[in-house]
Amino acid sequence: MTPTPGWPVPIGEAARRAGVSARMVRHYESLGLLPPVGRTDSGYRQYTEADVHALRFIGRARTLGFAMEEIRELLALWQDKGRASASVKRIAQGHIDDLAARIAAMQAMQRTLQTLVSCCQGNDRPDCPILDDLAAAPESPDALPKKLLYR
């Protein structure tokens, strides 16, 4: 198979064309999201047009907030021409549901903070409902669903 003119390219050019950093290209490779790439005789990585296309796919999926395991599944489905779109939709819907839960949790935090800020006099006195609330024991161990917020 004859290479397309202008291909393959070194990591810096592949990263530029894909819109990601070279560091992220190496990271995606280390996670196995990209197949092993060719190397020159001196050991420099060489990326094909297909590799750069996959890097763009991964970058776009990251921009939409998909987790690496979800990206791995989506990438496999994208490369499988016999895939069922229902599988792709299931992953995307799960991500939507996760985002909705995280947004709801953040909105609840925002409401709590707005209430605390409105209760704070913001004057020279040491009394501060914000600090009092931060120092108080949580209502329950699961009062703030941190796992939803900090992925």
Total-model pTM:
0.80
HSE, side-chain direction, 13 A CA sphere, residue 6 = 6
Buried b (16+ CB within 10 A) or exposed e, 29-62: beeebbeeeeeeeeeebbbbeebbebbebbbebe
Cis before 3? omega within 30: no
**Token digits for 122?**
């913001």
Q: What is d(CA 58, CA 62) in angstroms, rounded to the nearest whole number?
A: 6
pLDDT at 23: 97
Sequence-separated (6 or more) residues with CB below 8 Å from residue 101: 145, 148
Q: What is d(CA 96, CA 50) in angstroms, rounded to the nearest whole number?
A: 28
Q: What is d(CA 57, CA 95) in angstroms, rounded to the nearest whole number?
A: 16
pLDDT at 129: 92
Tens-digit pLDDT profile for the chain (151 aa)? 566 789 999 999 999 999 999 999 999 999 999 999 999 999 999 999 999 999 999 999 999 999 999 999 999 999 999 999 999 999 999 999 999 999 999 999 999 999 999 999 999 999 999 999 999 987 765 555 554 455 4
pLDDT at 2: 63
Q: What is the pLDDT of residues 56-97, one digit of tens each?
A: 999 999 999 999 999 999 999 999 999 999 999 999 999 999
